[in-house]
Amino acid sequence: MKNLHVHIKVDDNLYSRNPDSSELGRKIISTSITLINELGFEGFTFKKLGEQIGSPESSIYRYFENKHALLIYLVAWYWSWVDYKLVFSIVNIESPNERLKRAIDVLVQPVKVDHSISYVDETLLSEIIIRESVKAYHTKNVDNENKNGNFKDYKQVVQRVSELVLDVNPTFEYPHMLISTVIEGMHQQRYFAEHLPSLTDIKSGEDAISSFYHQLIISALK
């Protein structure tokens, strides 16, 4: 996908001040992506981020209440971007089977992009999603955050693909469960393949993970 000058929109209440609206804001986003990758989310602090970009902590707090809010933002951005890719991948395709196949491909293929959208490195961001995104909703405060709309984009992606599932098999009872299982499972398996390989079945060369989930969906819908 080439640079189409698309703009990924993130909901207003996922930030205190829109990071997309200033140089400092954009630096916060792009630098935090590399820094979270380096340090892990627990090791990442606004102080260290401030040092990296040469700004005081207090300036960063004007964009995000805390580092959790920043994670929520990154996750929302990611799913908003995936949703865009989903729409793009199935437009003009008629066969329900082919539409589903293409959508699943968007979900399970590793992200390899040449910086298509501005200051966000989508490949690095996808690694954060794999490693850290469970922490976005595994908190004591999920229910309030959910009410606040923090997970809207993710839910939107699941909803969209669930509808494609029903187009293929209208009697299938658990489309949302199937799709969220596939998305989360794919993340886990990529993580396991790197860190806990005995929990997965890696064959060198081919992308076993993608083909496993493709097969899983096909057989589940029969």
Partner DNA sequence: TCGTTCATAATAGTATTACTATTATATTTG
Partner DNA sequence: CAAATATAATAGTAATACTATTATGAACGA
Site mask, a copy of itself, residues 164-183, x = CB under 8 A? ---------xxxxxx-xx--
Which window, 6-14, 53-61, 96-104, 144-152, contacts DNA (CB under 7 A)?
53-61
CB atoms within 10 A of CB 21: 11
Is the separation of the CB atoms in 120 and 77 below 8 Å? yes
Query: Does residue 175 touch DNA according to CB under 7 A?
Result: no
Contacts of 123 (CB under 8 A, 6+ apart): 111, 112, 113
Is the separation of the CB atoms in 75 and 129 below 8 Å? yes
Query: Does residue 155 touch a copy of itself according to CB under 8 A?
Result: yes
> In the complex, what is the shortest distance from the CB of residue 45 to a copy of itself, in angstroms, rounded to a whole number?
13
Q: Which of 59, 116, 148, 180 binds DNA (CB under 7 A)?
A: 59
Cα end-to-end distance, the chain, whole Å: 32
Which is nearer to DNA, 59 or 89 (by Cβ)? 59
Question: What DSSP character marks residue 149?
Answer: T
Contacts of 92 (CB under 8 A, 6+ apart): none
Which window, 41-49, 108-116, 127-135, 187-195, contacts DNA (CB under 7 A)?
41-49
- With vertex at residue 162, the alpha carbon angle to CA 115 and CA 174, rounded to the nearest 5 degrees, is 135
> In the complex, what is the shortest distance from the CB of residue 169 to a copy of itself, in angstroms, rounded to a whole number?
12
Q: Which of 66, 95, 144, 211 binds DNA (CB under 7 A)?
A: 66
Query: Does residue 206 touch a copy of itself according to CB under 8 A?
Result: no
